[in-house]
Amino acid sequence: MPQKPIVYDAPTPEPRATTVEALQAEILEKLIYSVGKDPIVARPHDWLRATILAVRDRIMDRWMESSRETWRTSNKRVYYLSLEFLIGRLMRDAMSNVGLMEPVQQALKNLNVDLGDLINLEPDAALGNGGLGRLAACFLESMSTVKIPAYGYGIRYVHGLFRQEMSEGWQVELPEDWLAHGNPWEFERRESAYEVGFGGHVEPITDSDGTVRHEWRPNEHLLAVAYDTPIVGWRGARVNTLRLWSAQPIDPILLDKFNSGDHIGALEESAKAGAITRVLYPADSTPAGQELRLRQEFFFSSASLQDIVRRHLQQYGDLGSLPDKVAIQLNDTHPAISVAELMRILVDDNGIKWEDAWKLTKGTFGYTNHTLLPEALESWPVALLERLLPRHMQIVYQINADVLTEARTRAKFTDKQIAAVSLIDEHGGRRVRMGQLAFAGSHSINGVSALHTELMKQTVFADLHKLYPERINNKTNGITPRRWLMQCNPGLTKLITERIGPDFLDDIEKLHGLGAHAEDPGFQKQFAAVKRANKERLVTLIKDRVGVKVSADALFDVQIKRIHEYKRQLLNIIHAVALYDDIRAHPERDWVPRVKIFAGKAAPSYWNAKLIIKLINDVAKVVNHDPAVRGLLKVVFLPNYNVSLAETIVPAADLSEQISTAGMEASGTGNMKFMANGAITIGTMDGANVEMHKEVGDDNIVIFGLTTEQVEDKRSRSEVPRASIDKSPRLREALEAISSGVFSPDDPNRYRDLIGGLYDHDWFMVARDFDAYWAAQTKVEKIWSDRSRWDAMAIRNTANVGFFSSDRTIRQYAADIWNVQTA
């Protein structure tokens, strides 16, 4: 049935009033008529839902108008495909961006309800794991802020990433139930449902003119149903859409099986569909886990591309203008199968010639690489792809033939170079390299920091860069200053406004003006008072969450991020052990009180990462209860790290630990969040630390450790790390204490292999960077003891964070990759 034409000048209702009185009346109305509760008996979660609905109504007009404007002007759209969107709580974000914080707060106060309590009650959407997902969320908000018409596409995970709890210091993974009571921010779009197929076979069809085309006939089908969430830009500049896909069966129940008595088997299709959108990153250590993850990636990629093509055809009628009106950004390799799927849609479904389709595909896609770790550059067994996506495997082979032919004939590549650029890895079982597929099918491939981009050219994509030297470019990551300064640190935002005026709220680069006040004793005192208040809040949270009493007078030394050996939480906790030994051995010294704060989740199948969490908790148990330490050192691991927890920790941090092995962190964005909130960074010259060092200057950051070149040199020479351990008595004693069971008397051998790895190979340079790290931490203590110097450094960090705004990053994407206009 043909769709009715879209009317661009449809009547728009009058904007809703934003006065305290109007909001108060509407919140009450929502409570009674939408939530169904009498104010007398309403519980906090009822007030939360009523408030969200009232705020949401005031966003709808802007959302509708944003969409109409894009249709009216035919502006190019950007589509951001990401397996993760770590959006966090949305109510405060939305209220702040449309200027409703104060009137809503007063309206609720008049109703005897505290807005702060409601904000803390809102579930934290479990749609991501760490930096990748949070970056995607920052980018969406910035695209709305700079007025780029955009959609984010992802998966509506029912449980998402696991909820982390501790059992005797061990990580325990439990399901996160953020959707248990519904999501008042989302809208189901029944009309935007697409069939996604798996398996089956490919049928060659010969047309009347003798042309042979291919038709994929899947033997398994399910529905992808869209759920839309509005993403509001600063000051309501524009409202874009986060569209998440939910998997549903074509037939929710197989009645023949049910009626025959197979009541469980009758629900097989529902269970199979539900599994796809149940959990983020299912463990892929088994063949079944690998298949589920590939199903997830194809499911959301296929649904998103079908939606994009449908919308483009609806407005423009043909696909020849696709690169002119559509920009699709692949956030890492997870959606890389989109390259093959778009080719299938263009060639098989729309009859476009292969050469023309390939030109359209490359002109439409951009690919962001986030890692140099080979294990994180996804690859799939050829046999799995042939079984699950047979037509796509044919397309991959055809793309590969074109790429290798070009490499051989035009670039005169050697056999070794041919093997390096091939989409098929022939070593140890044939696998499809998704990074190579994304690279081949995109006109732009970007790294996320200057160092990372250069290393991409030299390592994982060295030969593809030689074949296509114009494609790789850099787009250093950024964070949205709205959430990571204005919202999470209102005290600092108010202080900055009083000192340099409000212009920085709209142009974060104006923060540079704060640098002129860094040496002002009066301003230093005010800046430190804001930090102290934030630390007091964190003190309360630590006591409530883990029962550890810490002092806000101490140096808050913070490392919060995904637990991974290359991020070197192990280096940090070994330092804690060595510091513990020194404090006990030399009680007469003037020690700087320090609280080491850790948070982060380990992948369920990553044993060493989980063991590091256990070690942190074991060390904490001993150190925190040893009277000889006199409270000078505390170690805290805060479980279930998420956006909301970060919003409390980041403003309270004094020292930001960014200590990854040089050459292994693509960028980092936690480093930028701490910088914005006046923390001083201790870090290696890795990822965006390099650019942070350039922005703040050598005097306002503490850099240590091996460089990328030095790390590679030591690895290439297979240097035995034992010698560097023997040269460092402090390190040796700390390692012996850990490996001998001092912190694990219930299991003295628990950490023997973990520490043994430092003696045997030390791939992540923990032992070889320890002495430099200790010296850097000693420098930190010296600076801390000169509080005027520390405060000046902290102020300069905040003053120079402007470059690391995601608004800047998005404007660079828009100009260099997407070819779209920004505000």
Is there a catalytic annotation at residue 761? no
Q: Which residues contact 783 (CB under 8 A, 6 or more apart)?
A: 680, 702, 789, 790, 793
In terms of DSSP bridges, do strands 655-658 and 680-683 run parallel, antiparallel, or are they unpaired? parallel
Cα-Cα-Cα-Cα dihedral sign, residues 254, 255, 256, 257? positive
Is there a catalytic annotation at residue 466? no
Is residue 584 helix, strand or coil? helix
Closest of 746, 423, 777 to residue 578, by C-alpha: 777
Own/partner long-range contacts of 354-361 (Cβ < 8 Å, ≥24 apart): 354/398, 358/399, 358/402, 360/319, 360/320, 360/322, 360/323, 361/441
Distance CA 556, CA 561 (A): 16
In terms of DSSP bridges, do strands 187-198 and 655-658 run parallel, antiparallel, or are they unpaired? unpaired
- The residue annotated as part of the active site, out of 49, 134, 238, 370, is 370
Which tokens go with 396?
Answer: 């991959």
Distance CA 611, CA 751 (A): 8
Distance CA 195, CA 307 (A): 11
- The residue annotated as part of the active site, out of 562, 575, 596, 610, is 562
Is there a catalytic annotation at residue 476? no
Distance CA 789, CA 549 (A): 28
Q: How many CB atoms within 10 Å of residue 724?
A: 20
Distance CA 776, CA 701 (A): 10
Residue with tokens 């003696």: 759
Q: Which residues contact 388 (CB under 8 A, 6 or more apart)?
A: 198, 199, 291, 294, 295, 298
Is there a catalytic annotation at residue 482? no
- What secondary structure letter does DSSP report for 156? -
* C-alpha 431 chain-centroid distance: 27
Distance CA 112, CA 92 (A): 19
Q: How far apart are the first and last CA of the chain?
A: 39
Residue with tokens 């919003």: 647
Is there a catalytic annotation at residue 312? no
The CA distances from residue 377 to 242, 356, 384, 611, 709, in Å, are: 25, 29, 17, 24, 22
In terms of DSSP bridges, do strands 365-368 and 444-447 run parallel, antiparallel, or are they unpaired? parallel
Residue with tokens 């050598």: 698
Is there a catalytic annotation at residue 669? yes
- The residue annotated as part of the active site, out of 561, 596, 750, 768, is 561
The CA distances from residue 759 to 631, 678, 733, in Å, are: 32, 37, 13
- The residue annotated as part of the active site, out of 669, 684, 708, 809, is 669
Closest of 664, 687, 666 to residue 675, by C-alpha: 687
Q: Which residues contact 464 (CB under 8 A, 6 or more apart)?
A: 420, 421, 436, 439, 440
3-state percent helix, strand, coil for the chain, nearest multiple of 5: 50, 15, 35
- The residue annotated as part of the active site, out of 567, 568, 601, 634, is 567
- The residue annotated as part of the active site, out of 334, 673, 750, 768, is 673
Distance CA 169, CA 189 (A): 44
Strand partners, 247: 224
Q: Which residues are catalytic?
A: 370, 561-562, 567, 669, 673
